[in-house]
Homo-oligomer: A and B are copies of this chain.
Amino acid sequence: MSPTDGKGPRAQRKAARPMEILEAAFEEFSAQGYAATRVEDIARRVGVTKGTVYVYFESKEVLFGEMMRHLSTPLADTRAHIRSLEGPYPQRIEAFVRYVYQRLVADRKTRELLRLVVAEGARFPHLADRQDEEFMQPLCDAAGEMIREGVACGAFRPTPLAEIPELLISPALLRAVEHLMFDDRRSTDLEDFIAAHLELLWSALLPCEERTGTNGRTARPDA
């Protein structure tokens, strides 16, 4: 039974408050950083006053922690999603790579989570650990496994990518960091970038004779 079931408008509002506050906290904390964010700003964004925020969260620090936890939860299904990929290995790799760009570059929430971890990680070390546990490690493990399978069944050549899958996702991270630094001021075409990234991967993964230069699908994604 959901918390909004069979309740009057008062109870519904109350039930919705914590989430509203977490969303507003995300906007403010990611834009200003922890120390520079005022609880009053978060409250104003929700349309209430500071006192209300303290009804739902006992302190600014707790609110920040809860907000980070809230941000991290959608990452939990990363591993399952990746394991569900099907088809020939190169296409699986491409789907995987596009998924990584989707999360790390296109999805603002994940991107800003990265900013907060880098910016505030020194004072909240568990943030980095959770982010790694729930996102980076699953991603890398799944990628490594996929590549080793591909190698085992002869689709891919042996490659250090199998042992160090971070190499596979690093270009996406670079785009994410660029995005964090310049927002939208320096945006070269992402599709071109991904195409080049895939090209680089094929040269490492595919046997020489299969490298045509247009493996997988490097064309724009259409329906």
Contact = CB atoms under 8 A, between A and B. Distances in A.
Interface residues of A, number: 48
A100 to B, nearest CB: 12
Interface of A: 31-36, 114-115, 117-123, 128-129, 131-132, 159-161, 163-164, 166-167, 169-171, 173-174, 177-178, 180-183, 186, 192-193, 195-197, 199-200, 203-204, 208
A35 B119 CA distance: 12
7 contacts: A32-B122, A33-B119, A118-B119, A128-B182, A132-B181, A166-B171, A167-B197
Q: List the number of copies, as a whole number.
A: 2
Majority secondary structure, A binding face? helix
A177 B171 contact: no
A160 to B, nearest CB: 3
A32 B123 contact: yes
Contacts of A31: 122
A157 to B, nearest CB: 8
Contact of A173 (B35, B160, B161, B177): B177
B131 A181 contact: yes
